[in-house]
Structure 1
Amino acid sequence: MSESPPPPTTFREGGYGWVCVACTFLMNAHTWGINAAYGVFLSYYLSTDIFPGTSSLEYAFVGGLSISCAMLIAPLATYLDKRISTRFVLNLGAILETVSFIASSFVKKNWQLFLAQGACFGFGMGLCFCGSVGITSHWFEKKRSLVNGIGSAGSGIGGLIYSLAVGKMIPELGLPWSMRTLGIICFVVNITCANLLRVPSETRAAASASVKVPTLPLTLLKRLDFVLLLAWAFFSALAYVTLLFSLSSYCVAIGLTQQQGSLASALLSLGQAFGRPAVGLLSDHFGRIFISMIASFLAGLLSLVVWIFASSAGLTYFFAIIVGLFAGTLWASAAPLAAEVVGIQHLGAALGIIWFVLTPPAAVAEAIALQLRNEVGSSKPYLRVQLFAGFVYIGSAACLAWLLVEVRRKRRVARLGTDKSDL
């Protein structure tokens, strides 16, 4: 006897879904937003040498380690979400983040910093992000890209606030109490949001009634369209992390102050706060793959034609805002694009694979950037870094251009098959 089909998922396009959008926004602000402020921490570590004997490459590794650990834990987050609950994953992530900041306030050696601010924070951030990123897609269909853009804009607002706040707190409170303050704020906000976020009851019912979908269906890797999506995500993450963690130290390298570097990082986050919802809104109207492709290309173009020539504070601030509109497209568009390519029923599994694939670029991006820097005193100390970021962003756009061609080809074949069956 064949199994009955699962009940269809109802897209309410509102109601409690907007509560989930607000919670996702706040959680992104207190995970990715605070992580974006690591550029300020990095600038402080490099200028003070607070852990003697630690190289600039090792300091950069802390920021990359946090993002790579966040991506590395994605399959486990997906598994725990299916086996236990979304709420468990989110609460565990909130607790790990808090432990990270409190532990970081007591570190005395660089390896302790790697574990606390790098690995522990990364695992907490990954659980919070992976547990929450797909929830709003289950509440909306027509506005799916828009609400994902609004939710991911939280990281831009958080990055803006915390880049400025950290730059102010460290001189006035000292590094230990700055860490403790961040830990307390994170705990209160993230625990609250973790217990408010949930998927629609119809989605849970459909999942229970349907045939079980593997946590990581590796058959997706045999599909060209999904592989192209992974390639776009890989290159986007590589360029994004390079830009995010390099901008503040770039300002110091060209003779600006550490506070001006903090402001540049904050303005980059401000650009993302406006850019991500705008990309989402345009995607819903003009095509999600097409708009993401244009945004990725513009991020690369701006790095090549503006950042390279930004030798003053004003031009650097302008670049930070304008490139921020497009730089974080990956985080706003990954879930809607995955749903479009593999279907909503495979969204969680597809995102788990995407985040896992982002582990290597997140780990090595800033280390590569530091190795590409020219010698101190050079007229353009970050020229190779700027070229690297620009061309990698353009490469990611090329992957989406190919994906767009592939998706249109599949739709054309499907229409021809439907027409023949009607004859």
Structure 2
Amino acid sequence: MNAHTWGINAAYGVFLAYYLSSDVFPGTSSLEYAFIGGLSMSCAMLIAPLATFLCQRVSHRFVLNLGTIFETLSLITASFVKTDWQLFLSQGVCFGFGMGLCFCGSVGITSYWFKKRRSLVNGIASAGSGIGGLVYSLAVGKMIPQMGFPWAMRTLGILCFVINLACSNLLRIPSHSATASKGAPFRLSVVLRLDYVLLLGWAFLSALGYVVLLFSMPSFSIAIGLTQQQGSLASALLNLGQAIGRPAVGLLSDYYGRFNVALVASLLTSLLSFVLWIFVDSLGLTYFFSIAVGLFAGTLLAVAAPLAAEVVGLQDLGAGLGILWLTLCPPTTVAEAIALQLRDPSTSSKPYLRVQLFTGFMYLGSAICLAFLMLEKRRKRRLTQS
């Protein structure tokens, strides 16, 4: 399910590189193209509270099947678009709604089946998005030149429909958990808590950096003189890093604590952006950086739910996650647009220098938010003990 929702969305970097290097939609600016990928992620976050509500009041299966229909429609209709606003509605808004419904309908199901090693299990499940991103970054990079853009989109739509439809109707919650807690998807009182505000700060800044990395690698590769297929492979390797890194993050979280692992992952992503990405100027370094940063960059989506549960408690988890997903709407919408505006094509040696600095500072800021969050939790613990 993750491979055919987040995985297909992760391949948008390849589509973006294709849009920027060709005149498929005349008159469309690079900034407008950037907003399409951002819209898909922000719409997924925007519909999350509604998806959670429908899961509680109707069923997970209904939400998953509805999401599959939205995703399939978006990909098929995108193959027939003639103008940029049609692409906005199909590949941006419609796909985002489908992705959000599929994500929210499936993200919590694995937790019902396991009492131990839940972080590891969720990490393995979320690795599907990395595997999907790996496969579809390579596939899209090959399909567009050989089949053309319309048939590449139709092929993705058919695959998405068949596989997600099967998954939607096979996934289920154990019968003993059918009456699980149905907390409110919205409760603004949680926002008054300092530790929760710090968690939102971590998520907001991480999302800004993550989207830039996810969507910029193919166009960055082309900017330093690599081919479009080599850029597709760079995007695929970043997703391969996520496929390996997310289960590893889950496993380490079970042993060393979720906050500790998330803090280290944010710091390492920031360090790699400052120390390595700035100096990447060859094919080998591009591939090495893509894999290395992929190990840590996608920690946000792997640990957001477990961290929210630790901060607000299981009783308010629905409200905590609902507000967190909405908080991610603005950064996921504008992150890649900011990156394209920060590019400096006139500087042939380092056209992405400001983008690289921006990404590093975003992850550094997210790590600082987590550090203060951990201090706040310790302060509360001491007050409780005294």
TM-score category (smaller protein): over 0.9
Partner of 2:196: 226
Does 2:110 correspond to 1:110?
A: no
Partner of 1:414: 384
> Residue 363 of structure 2: which of 393, 405, 408 is its match?
393
Q: Is the 8 A contact 2:183 2:318 kept in 1?
A: no
**TM-score relative to the length of structure 2:** 0.97
- After TM superposition, the structure 1 = structure 2 runs for residues 7-406 of structure 1, keeping only pairs within 5 Å, are 27-207=1-181, 213-406=183-376
SS at match of 1:299: helix
- Please report how far the alpha carbon of residue 141 of structure 1 lies from its aligned counterpart in structure 2 after TM superposition: 4.0
Percent of residue pairs identical: 73
Indicate the larger mover: 84-93 or 261-270. Answer: 84-93
Runs of at least 5 residues in structure 2 that lack an aligned partner in the other structure: none
Runs of at least 5 residues in structure 1 that lack an aligned partner in the other structure: 1-26, 417-423
Assess, with a 3 A threshold, how the Cα gap between structure 1 residues 352 and 198 changes in structure 2: closer, same or farther: farther
SS at match of 1:388: helix
**TM-score relative to the length of structure 1:** 0.89
Assess, with a 3 A threshold, how the Cα gap between structure 1 residues 394 and 377 changes in structure 2: closer, same or farther: closer
Assess, with a 3 A threshold, how the Cα gap between structure 1 residues 138 and 226 changes in structure 2: closer, same or farther: farther
How many residue pairs match? The answer is 386
- Please report how far the alpha carbon of residue 375 of structure 1 lies from its aligned counterpart in structure 2 after TM superposition: 2.6
C-alpha distance in 1 between matches for 2:243 and 2:160? 19
Q: Is the 8 A contact 2:214 2:235 kept in 1?
A: yes
Q: Which runs of 4+ in 1 moved over 4 A?
A: none
Assess, with a 3 A threshold, how the Cα gap between structure 1 residues 190 and 125 changes in structure 2: closer, same or farther: same
- Please report how far the alpha carbon of residue 374 of structure 1 lies from its aligned counterpart in structure 2 after TM superposition: 0.7
C-alpha distance in 1 between matches for 2:30 and 2:189? 41
SS at match of 1:216: coil
C-alpha distance in 1 between matches for 2:112 and 2:374? 24
C-alpha distance in 2 between matches for 1:128 and 1:405? 35
- Please report how far the alpha carbon of residue 228 of structure 1 lies from its aligned counterpart in structure 2 after TM superposition: 1.1
- Please report how far the alpha carbon of residue 223 of structure 1 lies from its aligned counterpart in structure 2 after TM superposition: 1.2
Q: Which amino acid aligns with 2:334?
A: V
Indicate the larger mover: 78-87 or 383-392. Answer: 78-87
Q: Is the 8 A contact 1:134 1:348 kept in 2?
A: no
C-alpha distance in 2 between matches for 1:369 and 1:179? 25
Q: Is the 8 A contact 2:184 2:316 kept in 1?
A: no
C-alpha distance in 2 between matches for 1:195 and 1:401? 41
Q: Is the 8 A contact 2:184 2:318 kept in 1?
A: no
C-alpha distance in 1 between matches for 2:77 and 2:291? 33
* Alignment RMSD (CA, Å): 1.2
